[in-house]
């Protein structure tokens, strides 16, 4: 493929990636706004909910519900994945 065509293709791919990112970001904002307007009662405050939405964008953490519906738990993603694998690989001895 000639260099000029390759550069044009890379430019198009960059534009498409940008459009996909913008579309995803807009969809996330719409879902957040819909959730904020819904009639569902939350067990956390609006500011706490906003903080959780912001934390969701961090790749190094994971947010999961606590046992017995005690609210959300924020954990280090690598620890969580290691713990999942530890439990999956744990063999019961009879």
45-78: burial string, b at 16+ Cβ within 10 Å, e else: eeeeeeeebeeeeeeeebeeeeeeeeeeeeeeee
**In the prediction, which pLDDT does 94 show?**
46
**In the prediction, which pLDDT does 80 show?**
92
**In the prediction, which pLDDT does 27 show?**
85
The low-confidence residues of the chain, meaning pLDDT below 70, are: 1, 35-40, 93-94
pTM flag (> 0.85): no
Phi, psi of 92 (to 5 degrees): -80, 130
């Amino acid at each position: 493929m000639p260099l000029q065509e390759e550069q044009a293709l890379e430019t198009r791919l960059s534009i498409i990636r940008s459009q996909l990112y913008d579309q995803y970001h807009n969809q996330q904002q719409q879902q957040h706004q819909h959730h904020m307007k819904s009639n569902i009662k939350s067990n956390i405050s609006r500011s706490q909910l906003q903080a959780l939405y912001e934390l969701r964008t961090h790749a190094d953490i994971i947010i999961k519900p606590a046992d017995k519906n005690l609210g959300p738990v924020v954990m280090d993603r690598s620890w969580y994945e290691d713990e999942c694998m530890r439990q999956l690989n744990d063999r019961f001895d009879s």
